[in-house]
Amino acid sequence: MHKVLILLVLAFTIRSVQAQSALQSPDKAETDRLITAVEPRMIEWRHDFHQHPELSNREYRTAAKVAQHLQALGLEVQTGIAHTGVVGVLRGDKPGPVIGLRADMDGLPVQERVDLPYKSTEKGEYNGAEVDVMHACGHDTHVAILMGAAEVLAAMKADLAGTVVFVFQPAEEGPPAGEEGGAELMVKEGLLERYKPEAMFGLHINAQTPVGTIRYRAGGIMASSDWFYITVTGQQTHGASPWQGIDPIVVSSQIIQGLQTIISRQTNLTEQPAVITVGIIESGVRANIVPEKAELTGTIRTLDTAMRRQIHERIIRTAEKIAESAGAQADVRIENKTPITYNDPALTAQVLPSLLAAAGAENVIERKPMTGAEDFGFFAERIPSFYFFLGGMPPGLSPEQTGAHHTPDFYVDDSGMQLGVRTFCYIVLDYFAKIR
């Protein structure tokens, strides 16, 4: 019933978007003019960030450039949040609500293979090793888009009936081993209490989505990401006489098969998708020795909190009982890494007219949920939030012809960024107009 109500609300919103826009939205002509004017500089910023990517919690150059830009616009600026995060506050000349716009800043330990004039040749240190660094997920575009939105909205300060908090977040890809970071640390350090946004908005450019289009979803749009660690303890023996011991490798293989039946036989996948993946198996030192222990490490992806809890319980039960049946022992530890990225249904319905006005109704598409994860979910856990996908695939290409995210061939087209700025600005203006 809840899902039916959400769909009815969204359907009604789409039908009434023109009437709502006419009543509530300020004139967008000046906004569009300012966006067109800022686009060349926005592309320059993006190329510079792309050429000089920085790893998580090491975004020093990026943060400095962002802070300088925000200060030049006359915003209140705070740096050093969650190590390298930057926050700029734009207070409109009229009273109104406080909302946040977020962009992530970090690159990845990937060697770029795309032949661009602004190709990255940067090096960095990741887990103690020297690595190539690349913006292989589009965070460079996110930073440039939010800088562009800040410039446009700052020029409209006299007409703004509210406050915009621009959040430039480090370490979305995860902090280095032994460090905290990202949205989780920003929340932990009190960002939401300090600035008190009543809603948060974020976007992600997508290399397989055509330029000029937006994809959104009410409810869970990206999955939670949890890691599990299973230690299977058996009894070591000679490989020639395995009956004299308890083989943890064989028990581990049975546990792996059992984990897959949690998804295929115990989880209602008609409600939401879910994934259990074992990514690491470590055991043994010699071919003719049955070892004492085996270690399994993997990830869990869910889009529903109840399903998430049930799957965690079933992983523990499955591993422990299979091990017990063989005379072994399984110790299970689950780390909650990233929560579900959840789009508040009421907020989604409220901002959908802004998306339609920015991109055109034919270019705003409701998408299926993704089993990828995003630490924007830490904001969405605390306040109503909305997260959407922005097209970055060049015209004339198909998804099969474009490099995937987190790969050396990743590429997004500069022309997709203007819609990102327009959508952010329309969301702000329409939100302030409606609340007022």
Same domain, 251 and 307: yes
Tell me the pLDDT band of 436, cut-offs 50, 70 and 90: low
Q: Please indicate, yes or no, whether residues 87 and 234 belong to a single structural domain of this protein.
A: no
Q: Which residue among the candidates 172, 304, 375, 414 is catalytic per the annotation? A: 172
Q: How confident is the model at residue 20 (pLDDT cuts 50, 70, 90)?
A: very low
Same domain membership, residue 408 and residue 350: yes
Write out the two tokens for 337: 């890494």
Q: Are 207 and 229 in a shared domain?
A: no
pLDDT at 273 over 70: yes
Range of 352's domain?
2-223+340-435
Tell me, yes or no, whether 251 and 271 share the same domain.
Answer: yes
Which of 284, 319, 338 is the C-terminal boundary of a domain?
338
pLDDT for position 382? 98
CATH code for position 68: 3.40.630.10
* Average pLDDT estimate for 300-318: 97
Residue where a domain stops, chosen among 286, 321, 338: 338
Mean pLDDT, rounded, of the chain: 94
End of a domain among 319, 338, 357? Answer: 338
Same structural domain for residues 237 and 368? Answer: no
219 shares its domain with 229: no
| CATH at 279 | 3.30.70.360
**pTM of the model as a whole:** 0.91
* Dihedrals phi, psi of 235, to nearest 5 degrees: -135, 125
- pLDDT at 69 exceeding the cut of 50: yes
* pLDDT above 90 coverage of the chain, percent: 93
- How would residue 415 be classed by pLDDT, with cut points 50, 70 and 90? very high
Name, in order, each residue with C-beta under 8 angstroms of 235's C-beta and a sequence gap of 6 or more.
245, 246, 290, 292, 327
Residues 190 and 284 in one domain: no
pLDDT digits (tens, 9 = 90+) for 368-382: 999 999 999 999 999
Same domain, 54 and 160: yes
- Mean pLDDT over 385-395 rounds to 97
**pLDDT for the residue numbered 81:** 98
Q: How many CA atoms lie within 13 A of 81 on its CB side?
A: 26
Residue 106 annotated in active site: yes
Q: How far apart are CA 195 and CA 16, in angstroms?
A: 33
Say yes or no: 66 and 138 in one domain.
yes
Per-residue confidence (pLDDT) for residue 5, from 0 to 100: 44
The pLDDT tens digits of the residues spanning 186-213 come to: 999 999 999 999 999 999 999 999 999 9
- List the catalytic residue out of 54, 59, 104, 106: 106
Number of domains in the chain: 2
Residue 196 CB neighbour total at 10 angstroms: 13
Do 23 and 169 fall into the same domain? yes
- Mean pLDDT lowest for which of 64-73, 144-153, 427-436? 427-436
- Same structural domain for residues 282 and 332? yes
431 pLDDT tier (thresholds 50, 70, 90): very high
